[in-house]
Amino acid sequence: HQKADWVSIHEKICQLLIPVRTPLPLHLAEKERKHGTEQLLKRQKYISELTYSTAQQLVLDGKHKEAVPAALHALRFGTEVYGSNSVHLVPAYLLLAEVSAGVGRLPQASKYLSQAQWIVLSTPDCSSAVQHQLHRSLGLFYAAQENFDQALYHLANDVYLASSTFGLKSLETSGGYFHMANIFFHQNKMDIANSLYTEV
């Protein structure tokens, strides 16, 4: 586990962790303490973004197992910055779900998706962009389980939300069409699949 953590992310963030782990001196003036707290928050935010982008790149490279430690760090530092119920954590939960599914841990992926879904449902002003990401992840998860009705339901929501946010001809929207086409192709519904592939 330590070797995987080191290879995945720790080597990149090791030096960044020192000032984050070092407590502020006790005898500081209010102004200095406030400045120290602001700097700590900036460092935590930077580490959260760095670990998230590293995990994302590892997933794109097909290295799901190596992405686990980086994705966990992204969630951990995101939680320290934004709190445990923030909508800012949804992308980290979705990434962890994708990583978990990629290493064959579907029950764990389901838990991460449930947490992301709960945050989105409990955030009334949640953006369509975040909701589109959630529905895409849910659609792909159900497709992996061969629950194609649920997969198509979530991917249709994904397409709707992506098109209303980014436009009908956006790359974000075409991704939803592509995944829907793959499902129809798998179901041997070639007319619908070809129509969606053409749309992509």
Domains, the chain, ranges and CATH?
A: 1-125 (1.25.40), 127-199 (1.25.40)
Percent of the chain with pLDDT over 90: 52
pLDDT averaged over the chain?
Answer: 85
Query: 12: which DSSP letter?
Result: H
pLDDT band at 51; cut points 50, 70, 90: confident
Question: Is the distance from CB of 164 to CB of 128 less than 8 angstroms?
Answer: yes
Tell me the per-residue pLDDT of 63-76, one tens digit each, with 9 for 90 and over. 888 888 889 989 98
pLDDT of residue 38: 79
Tell me the per-residue pLDDT of 98-126, one tens digit each, with 9 for 90 and over. 999 988 899 999 999 999 999 999 998 99
- The span from the CA of 195 to the CA of 200, in Å, is 9
pLDDT band at 39; cut points 50, 70, 90: confident
- The span from the CA of 98 to the CA of 90, in Å, is 12
pLDDT band at 1; cut points 50, 70, 90: very low
Kindly state the tokens that stand for 138: 């849910």
| Neighbouring C-alpha atoms within 13 Å toward the C-beta of 192 | 13
Q: List CB contacts of 53: < 8 A, sequence separation 6 or more.
A: none
pLDDT of residue 11: 55
- The span from the CA of 75 to the CA of 147, in Å, is 28
User: Mean pLDDT throughout 19-34?
Assistant: 63
- The span from the CA of 135 to the CA of 187, in Å, is 21
pLDDT of residue 42: 84
